[in-house]
Amino acid sequence: MLRSTLPVLLIATVATGGCAEAVQGSRVVTYTPDRFYVRYVPWRNSTSDIEHQAGEICQAEGKQATLESAQQFTWLDTKYATFKCTSVATEAPGAAPAPG
């Protein structure tokens, strides 16, 4: 009995793991004003879509998005991508590169 129900439970858990993200799209959860993670279902949102979304969030603050980590526990499951908004490095006018 357990052998037949275990695969069904596993499939049901994976299938409903990203239920809200599968229906509503990616979800942004903020840690601090400069750090956040995005929960998304890879078959609905591509990695480039999520990177673009993170870039827009950080760009609103005049910063750029840097991916800190990405986790996915099973190949069908929800993926978590953690981003940090970092200052955009600007070069001073007339600055020369350091001798190397």
Rg of the chain on CA atoms, in Å: 19
How far is 72 from 14, CA to CA, in rounded Å? 11
* Neighbour-count burial for 73-97, b at 16+ CB within 10 Å, e otherwise: eeeebbbebbbbbeeeeeeeeeeee
Residues 26-55 have pLDDT tens digits of 899 999 989 999 999 888 888 899 999 999
The structure's pTM equals: 0.67
Residues 51-90 have pLDDT tens digits of 999 999 999 999 999 999 999 887 778 899 999 999 977 6
